[in-house]
Amino acid sequence: MVQKAERVGPSVINSGTRGVSRSGRPVGNVTRGTTNPNRMRRLDRWLTGPQGWRLRAAADPLVVDLGYGASPATAVELFERLAVIRPDVRMVGVEIEPERVRLARDLERPGLSFQLGGFELPVPGRPVLVRAFNVLRQYEEADVAGIWALVQGRLATGGLFIDGTCDEIGRRVTWVALEAERPLSLSLSMRFGSFALPSEVAERLPKALIHRNVPGERIHAYLQAMDKAWLEAAPLASFGNRQRWSAMCRALLDGGWPVHDGPSRWRLGELTVGWEAVAPGS
């Protein structure tokens, strides 16, 4: 049975702080689980690109795909992409719904397995990467900080937790990257031609931000700045949207926004900014 936006209160979250719920049940709720092949490609190429060093440097190359959904297709894709840069990667797909785990186990192979569980991450060892995509959006905003902390507490040294959201075929994608101590950044990645203004990605913001796109909040100011820079770069449209997007990113950087990465990522329709620039107000 699918449960949408039910509370995962402090008592439940705290019960999983040691990686095992006191009740013996996974921490979290069953979600819709809809997915499509290649839906996470924009995030995956960021994990194998600017963030690939984390997996390469890991003493234990353990990765968790948390809440992979009704189909394990995107979990298999992540495993295959990560194996290119770290052939000995060990990836565990974790799902809270038993039937999804049962079906996924037909696709197990050396280095890839599937496990029943939730935010407590019932895996041996500490993962260097945890991907939770289109998972937290179905929870309450008030529970996000606690869920983040629970997963962050399970990360390996230098590990990264990704909380992201995307549309049905992966043309508009956003994600927050968190280390064990703090959130690091917000990334937006969009297919050229799929939007008139960059702010249209707002409907796919992660749960921590989606309700904050209102005047007075940092994320609203950021999206408005993106739109302004995009419109001002309109004369470059004749040279292609990559040139226009890159000019927008450069204008934001020059305007004082803490833009990460650089032109090689911008050309992909991607833009990453420091979390401090978009974090919700109190």
**Is the pLDDT confidence value at 3 over 50?**
no
Domain count along the chain = 1
- Is position 44 within any domain? yes
Contact indicator for 260, 273 with CB cutoff of 8 Å = yes
- Higher pLDDT: 109 or 25? It is 109
pLDDT bucket at 35, cuts 50 / 70 / 90: confident
**Which CATH number fits the domain that encloses residue 103?**
3.40.50.150
As a whole number, the mean pLDDT across the chain is 92
- Is position 224 within any domain? no
- Is position 258 within any domain? no
Residue 14 confidence (pLDDT): 57
Residue 229 confidence (pLDDT): 98
- Is position 62 within any domain? yes
The residue segments making up the domain with residue 154 are 10-203
- Higher pLDDT: 9 or 127? It is 127
- Is position 195 within any domain? yes
- Is position 274 within any domain? no
- Is position 241 within any domain? no
- pLDDT tens per residue across span 151-185: 999 999 999 999 999 999 999 999 999 999 999 99
pLDDT bucket at 88, cuts 50 / 70 / 90: very high
- Is position 39 within any domain? yes
